[in-house]
Structure 1
């Protein structure tokens, strides 16, 4: 099951197990059960502290539980956790085996203190880059608190269960049998959602903070670069982010980041966060900005109000709030989001195995999505507004070679149809003939570009007609002392490497602004 290279790596990790663990397998006579048993035997052969026990007591087969011997501490996987979930498997083995987590001690204690019985179930797909964060967070919680349990379920393997529970997007989390959440969630987010007092406690801590020299709003590549460059100047730096990593977390393969031939979004995001933590930066994660109040006078304090009611003040601000997937804004889209309308083909594609789907958008993202989905689903209809596809020629040639893909150009999607529970089709208008057409299908993947996260900035600084923050070559906005960088700005190309450069530029510009203010500040204090 495991190749020699993986076995060698895993063997090294398993030396960190301090307490014996059992792999309790529930299997049937199917090929997948045989595959899982092979994986478990491979793992057990690498450590004398790991053993395999055949139980066959779980309703889901194949599945297995990793349990600390002589205790109820453990986590369960329904399926074969390879692909993106192999890391989740390794961490579960280590943590159940007694190896300490690297999570913040404050959060660990918060999990231990949770009062109540929490039975979590998470549906994931092996190609979902957002799922491991959820699986790993809930696995850790079940190890830390005996009243918490977690089962991670491969939705592609348990299709009947997925259909019965109407799971049409991953990760999807159930708590005590009821829907709890969808999409990427970090440990702190999950705990905060359970612990009702967490938000108010966080707000009180933020209110007590002194003003920053530089406050970065947004934790994507631009924000991370800005924070690092500012902190290296030795000035008081803070970063407030709704989710550290930003849209990079939703990116699959990254092959144009100079000097790194290939990486993946979540891996790059983790490296960004770790690099920021190497410096004296006050990181305030899970904080959504609500309003910007520029300083009344040059050199005064700017204020950023947060959704939780707290405010942060700073002498300079760097806005790097990024962008999000653009929506079609047609009837039915909101109603059927995560019920057939999806925005991540890598994450949710396996849930539509053997079904008919549409991809909206003919740029690189749309064509890449159609190519990927064609290998999973029965049929793909790609709908493009323009008269021609806009994707790179190499992608268009690959798309044209696929027998189960139909391309429709000069088409405007006008409505999403459903039966109240899930998507059943869509309507589009032929822009050349002004005629309406209906397409029967089960899934719609929207890939039509990005919209900047700047609605909260209206009236505070100058925005372009597209809602982008207007900046000059130094990254400065229309307000002195407020800078911006990345996909939320008027920078012409939305690329990771460009965002990092722009974040660095903004931080250097903010530092230059501060040192030029210093003589005036000193004179004011002397007076």
Structure 2
């Protein structure tokens, strides 16, 4: 299963194992079990510290446990962790084998101090770019704290189980048999749910921080670039982000980032975070901005209040809160969110294998989603509000060649319907004739663009009717000392490379603003 290059890399990694481990397999007579056994055998052949043992003692087959020899410490994979999950497999091998984690020591101690027994199960798909973060976080927590256990389950291999639990979106996380959360989470986010006092403690620490020269709100490409450019000037720089990486974390494939022929969103975000850290930027993740209070006089301090209760102050602020998927805002959409209504075809597509689905939106994202899904599902109906699709011609030609895709234009989705547990269909209105129609299906993938994250900024900076922050050619907003960059602004073409450029420009403009202010008591620029 592993090619020569992958074996060479894996052998190098396995040299870091400090304590021997066993790969304890539970198999049946199926083809997937044979495939799993082949994988485990290949891994064991690369290290004297790894052995394969067949026990057939787990109800999920095929599955295997990575267990530290002579102990009960370990993690389990139900399914074959290849694709995006191969990194999760490698990390689990190393961590169960005693290789230390790079997680911050205070976070490790917080995991150790959790008081309770937690049995986690995570359903993932091999094409889901959001799932590895969850799998890796819970695997690591189970290695750190013996009262935590974790099983990562490949949903497409256990479809009866997926159906019985109503899993229609991944990652889906269950704790002690009950749904715990859906969507991407890291260790700190899981801890925030389990350790209810952690939010208040973090807020207290944040509020005690000294004022920043540049405070960036948002951690996407624009925010990361802004912070790096500011920090390179030697001034005190901070980032407060609800989710560092933003929409890029949900991007499957990036092929237009200049000089990099191909990368994936999570990999790019990891590189951005490392780059930010190298310049000593104070990164405050999992912090959602709730209110902006501009300075009362020139050179004064702006204040940003966070949902956690914390408050930050800064001489300049760069707003880069990005955008989120636009919702249809029709009856039934919210009720059936993650119960058939989804916004990520790459993540959730495999859960709808052999089923009927609809894609809402005829732009590039919608047509690409329909093309991808057509290879998995029984039938795709693409619904576009306009009279014509808006996707690139090459994508439209590919879509037209697929036999299990139907395109409906001039159609307005009016309602999502279901049986109380999951989606059963949708209603749409023919915009030419006014007639109403119903489509029976099991999944709806919404791909109709983005909405800027600016609700918290109303009555402060000037916004357009669409909610975008109005900026000039320097990234300045309507308020002195407040700048903005990226998808949240009026700048056209919402692209990663554009956002990075705009973030850099806004940061340079903020620095230019700072050096023209009255000199504060403390030197602005470090020697």
Q: TM-score, normalised by structure 1?
A: 0.98
| 1:196 match: secondary structure | coil
Aligned-residue CA RMSD in angstroms? Answer: 1.0
Give the whole-Å Cα distance in 2 for the aligned partners of 1:36 and 1:171: 22
Determine if the alignment matches structure 1 residue 348 to structure 2 residue 340: no
| 1:206 match: secondary structure | helix
Determine if the alignment matches structure 1 residue 360 to structure 2 residue 335: no
2:151 aligned partner: 151
| 1:253 match: secondary structure | coil
> Does the CA-based 8 Å contact 2:373-2:380 persist in structure 1?
yes
| 1:24 match: secondary structure | strand
Q: Map of 1:82-101 to 2, 5 A cutoff?
A: 82-101=82-101
> Does the CA-based 8 Å contact 2:299-2:518 persist in structure 1?
no
Give the whole-Å Cα distance in 1 for the aligned partners of 2:318 and 2:186: 24
Q: CA deviation at 1:519?
A: 4.6
Give the whole-Å Cα distance in 1 for the aligned partners of 2:521 and 2:139: 52
Give the whole-Å Cα distance in 1 for the aligned partners of 2:519 and 2:338: 55
Give the whole-Å Cα distance in 2 for the aligned partners of 1:459 and 1:293: 10
Give the whole-Å Cα distance in 2 for the aligned partners of 1:147 and 1:520: 52
| Residues 465-520 of structure 1 deviation map (CA, whole Å, 9 limit, x = unaligned) | 10000000000000000000000000011000000000000110000000000358
Q: CA deviation at 1:72?
A: 1.2
Give the whole-Å Cα distance in 1 for the aligned partners of 2:253 and 2:395: 15
1:124 aligned partner: 124
1:385 aligned partner: 385
- Give 5+ residue unaligned stretches, structure 1: 523-527
| 1:270 match: secondary structure | helix
Q: CA deviation at 1:244?
A: 0.7
2:231 aligned partner: 231
Determine if the alignment matches structure 1 residue 407 to structure 2 residue 407: yes
| 2:333 match: secondary structure | coil
1:525 aligned partner: none
| 1:269 match: secondary structure | helix
| 2:478 match: secondary structure | coil
Give the whole-Å Cα distance in 2 for the aligned partners of 1:298 and 1:385: 48
1:134 aligned partner: 134
2:525 aligned partner: none
Give the whole-Å Cα distance in 2 for the aligned partners of 1:167 and 1:200: 32
2:164 aligned partner: 164
Give the whole-Å Cα distance in 2 for the aligned partners of 1:238 and 1:494: 24
| 2:500 match: secondary structure | helix
> Does the CA-based 8 Å contact 2:423-2:441 persist in structure 1?
yes
1:245 aligned partner: 245
| 1:461 match: secondary structure | coil
1:289 aligned partner: 289
| Residues 213-268 of structure 1 deviation map (CA, whole Å, 9 limit, x = unaligned) | 00000000000000000000000001000111000000000000000000000110
Give the whole-Å Cα distance in 2 for the aligned partners of 1:53 and 1:515: 66
2:75 aligned partner: 75
Determine if the alignment matches structure 1 residue 339 to structure 2 residue 339: yes
1:61 aligned partner: 61
1:197 aligned partner: 197
1:17 aligned partner: 17
2:324 aligned partner: 324
2:508 aligned partner: 508
Determine if the alignment matches structure 1 residue 50 to structure 2 residue 42: no
- Give 5+ residue unaligned stretches, structure 2: 523-527
| Residues 299-330 of structure 1 deviation map (CA, whole Å, 9 limit, x = unaligned) | 11000000011100000000000000000000
Give the whole-Å Cα distance in 2 for the aligned partners of 1:404 and 1:479: 53
Give the whole-Å Cα distance in 2 for the aligned partners of 1:494 and 1:341: 25
Give the whole-Å Cα distance in 2 for the aligned partners of 1:290 and 1:34: 53
Give the whole-Å Cα distance in 2 for the aligned partners of 1:159 and 1:197: 37
Q: CA deviation at 1:280?
A: 1.6
The count of residues paired between Structure 1 and Structure 2 equals 523
Give the whole-Å Cα distance in 2 for the aligned partners of 1:406 and 1:138: 41
| Residues 273-309 of structure 1 deviation map (CA, whole Å, 9 limit, x = unaligned) | 1100001211100000000011111111000000011
2:262 aligned partner: 262
Q: CA deviation at 1:207?
A: 1.2
Give the whole-Å Cα distance in 1 for the aligned partners of 2:506 and 2:449: 25
Determine if the alignment matches structure 1 residue 178 to structure 2 residue 143: no
2:458 aligned partner: 458
| 1:518 match: secondary structure | coil
Determine if the alignment matches structure 1 residue 221 to structure 2 residue 217: no
Moved runs in structure 1, 4+ residues, more than 3 A? Answer: 518-522
